[in-house]
Amino acid sequence: MNFKKTTIKQLHTDLVSGNITAKDLYDHSMSVIDERDTSVNSFIEVFTDQQLDHSEYTHILSGIPVGIKDNILFKGKKVSSASQMLENYTASYDSHIAKIFKAQKAMIMGRLNMDDMAMGTSTESSYFGPTLNPLDESRVPGGSSGGPAAAVAAGMVPYTLGSDTGGSIRQPAACCGVVGLKPTYGAVSRRGLIAMSSSLDVIGPITNSVEDAETVFNVINEYDPLDSTSVPLKKRAEYQNKNKNNKVIGVPRSFLEVDGLNSEVLENFNDSLELMKKEGYTIVDVDLPNLQHALAVYYTLQPAEVSSNLARYDGIRYALSEKGENLVDGYKKTKTKGFGREVQRRIMLGTYVLSSGYHDEYYYKARQLRSKITQEIRDIFETIDILATPTAPNVAFKFGAKKDPISLYLEDVFKVPYKLTGNPALSIPSGKNSENMPFSMHFTAPMFCEQKLFEAGKDFERVIL
């Protein structure tokens, strides 16, 4: 048995036919976790209370192991967002995703490691220690969903769920050589996801293939009336009906001239485009002048929302609580102990851009630019079907190679524009470099047109393998 070489649909078929049982899958998953996770550290907690006596496998995910990022609530289970602040917090209700997975009778193997409060690009900031890249344990697995990506890449589970705010599904997928899908904002319910940046956070799958990403997405792609950001299916159809697949891929060439883009990454990207031409795709250069501002806009708006969302962790109502000489001193001690340096940095930055005298200069200007970038992307999809870039400017880097925060932020340069706009995006392995580390292609589609990503992604897999 090898999760990396078997699709979810094949596992389901084997379960239905009786060729394998849920216990077989559980035992295999546990054996790989026992073998690899001592060093990789992808799981914060492994759940051993499994229902293994499935007599029917009615649903596509029934009986199939999955790992869940440690910021998605499952009632009665601990959920910490890999932060000391929530180290002992137990979820008091089920997220919408948890309800879906329980209805599917999926086998939840445990909660997976991540950057502290989902803030990071390398999973180095986790309170529970860093996750290592299973392809080369001297390198980072990406972040913040490093645990989910590493678990799939190591073959511990067939798929995982992560969250993506600036690139936190796609970056680790690229670093670990697996597939990562960021759905359209509003396609997958956010209810029960520990909020970091509410206008950006999205839940999505990390898998071994585009087909598996499609399979999982089709399960979690539900309207949730209790989530105000969830978009009704009828409204989604309006977007989908407007777009037809003519196999036109747009490349924002000027955007690829950013400092720090590795020459091998660029060469692989251009070679990959040539392969898509042979599959009948038309490649055109497109002009998106405001894309160059996306990273600055993101790192203005995201910290502002972080500052607001994390204000609730005050040491009074729940989570970590440190006593102080007075109320303000208690706040300071609680937040200083509970949050890591990166979380503190973003809270302070967000508080600054929202403060009196500065919110007009920074926050509102960033919001205006976000609107311009969004309109620019919407307009370009009138003439093309897919936007393509590399997923990241570099392959997975060595631990300690990027010590200043700016160099880490720059790893998100090709991913954050489509978080600002809400468009769906897919990261797909596209070969390996001279050190056997994976490259990755990044496709973006019009709003709620994930099917375009799956069609192009499966075509790409066929020519790249």
Active site residues: 69, 144, 168
240 touches 448 (CB < 8 A): yes
- Rounded CA separation 156/21 (Å): 17
Which run of H or E residues covers position 211? helix 210-220
Q: How far is CA 2 from the centre of its chain?
A: 24
- Rounded CA separation 461/453 (Å): 12
- Rounded CA separation 124/144 (Å): 9
Per-position b or e across 27-64, b if 16+ CB within 10 A of its CB: ebbbebbeebbeebbbbbbeeeebeeebeebebbbbbb
**Residue 418 — φ and ψ, nearest 5°?**
-90, -5
Which tokens in the block code for residue 66? 């999955």
- Rounded CA separation 198/397 (Å): 29
- Rounded CA separation 285/76 (Å): 51
Q: How far is CA 207 from the centre of its chain?
A: 11
334 touches 322 (CB < 8 A): yes
108 touches 95 (CB < 8 A): no
> Under the phi-then-psi rule, with left for phi > 0, alpha for psi from -120 to 50, and beta for the rest, what region is 45?
beta
Cis amide leading into 197 (omega within 30): no
- Rounded CA separation 99/93 (Å): 10
- Rounded CA separation 160/68 (Å): 6
According to DSSP, the residues that pair with 282 across neighbouring strands are 248
